[in-house]
Chains A and B, each alone.
Chain A
Amino acid sequence: MAKKITAVVKLQLSAGKATPAPPVGSTLGPYGINMMEFIKGYNEKTAAQVGTVIPVEITIFEDRSFTFITKTPPAGELLKKAAGADKGSGRPNKEKKGRITTEQLRQVAEMKMPDLNANDIEAAMRILAGTARSMGIDIVQ
């Protein structure tokens, strides 16, 4: 039946390893959606991608039922992979975690275009270059 949407929530979670701990429990709990069913569904769907973060968009309806779709890995994950970094830097000014080329940046931007609020590939690359540098990943030619 037609249903009114109460909220659309985007979560970034470890693939195959979601648990009821925050943020899943603390954020979805108040909406009254069946937590374990979401967790089971998410973990099953992302089991093959363990070790990466997979975003999920959950649509919650007024009767507290829900649907969800998984998305491509977040830009940060793709940038870390391209740079061979395990995590982002806590002090990106001083402590560098790696470097990527402009071409690699363009590839990540192309992959993430649908999820980014960017009008063209250049705008997407500018956002992602900022994201990369904020993680201590430099961009080189």
Chain B
Amino acid sequence: MRWAEITISCPSETEEAVCQALLDAGCGGTMTTGTGPVSVQGSLPEDEYLPEKLQTLRDRLNTLPDWGLAPVCSEPGVQLVDEQDWAEAWKKHYKPVKPGRILVVKPSWEVYAPNPEEKVLALDPGMAFGTGGHPTTRLCMEFLEDTVQEGMRVADIGTGSGILSIAAALLGAEHVWATDSDSLPRRIAAANIAENQMEGKIEVLELDEFYQQAQQCDIVTANIVANTILELLPQISGMVKTGGAVIVGGIVEEHRDLLHRALALAGFEDIQEKTEDIWVCFLAVRTSNPVNMPELINLSRSLPPLGANWA
């Protein structure tokens, strides 16, 4: 079976009327993209009624100026597309990824035969949480491979899908505390931890409980965003034992120098970095130096915000 994909470009004030015309023509839904002139799309099955439905739709669109609305920008474009198994087709975008030397992230539906030195995590893509496809997650995983040793205590702030916690546990951490400020990622992380049979090693906690329990850590990871990391650095600094390390990611290049200075002010040294694309990830070692709070607060005030197109 084929579908007629109908695309109509129109001024935004006409969008509602165009959407309604498509729905009334029998489309199961509509899609709008763009601003200013928007592009509205709907689909109808290719059958004997299609020509008549398209004609009715064209007639109705032609009347829009009669009702005081701006006319559509052009005749509706119609393209025939083959029916696909839409429920499965999106999966072709995902293959196992190997960010570093050891860890491999695979979607649950892929079969992967690991080499003896490889450790595999199964994670399904979904709502806004990492699957190892994002540079900052990959960079943090590389640093975890460099630093995690058997028996370590690890804390993961802003765990999202739980990917870094699972990675740390796979690499030998004895206990991992994970948290996120939002309950949805905490639930998703817990599900992914169960999927990877790591419930015995990783605890997902609400913030208060997390900060009470995650103490004297060998490693703390925070793959979040520069502003939040800056805000959390004094707390993070207190959680890492002397000689332990922090891994911070989610930092864009323009915030690199600022975060570097902030790490030093929070009592860290031996600061290493990895970069990919516009992303920077830091690994730094906790010294016994105290946290310079006044300077850290000053620094956080100077952080430039990210522009539009970011969330």
Which residues of A does B touch, CB under 8 Å? 1-5, 7-14, 18-29, 31-37, 41, 53, 59, 61-67, 74-76, 87-93, 112, 116-118, 126-135
Contacts and interface: CB of A to CB of B under 8 A. Distances in A.
Interface stretch (B119-127, B209-217, B230-238, B264-272): B119-127
Contacts of B198: none
A10 B89 contact: no
B47 to A, nearest CB: 14
B134 A62 contact: yes
Interface string B23-60: 11101111111000000011100000000000010011
Given A63-B130, A127-B16, A134 B69 contact: yes
Interface in B55-81: 56, 59-60, 63-64, 66-69, 81
19 contacts: A2-B250, A5-B310, A22-B43, A24-B29, A53-B29, A59-B311, A61-B128, A63-B131, A64-B93, A75-B20, A88-B20, A90-B56, A90-B59, A116-B13, A129-B68, A131-B17, A134-B21, A134-B63, A135-B24
B250 A93 contact: no
Contacts of A28: 90
> Majority SS of interface residues in chain A?
mixed
B250 A131 contact: no
Contacts of A118: 13
Nearest to B225: A2
B309 interface: yes
Given A37-B127, A118-B13, A32 B5 contact: no
Contacts of B115: none
Nearest to B226: A2
Contact of B20 (A21, A76, A127): A76
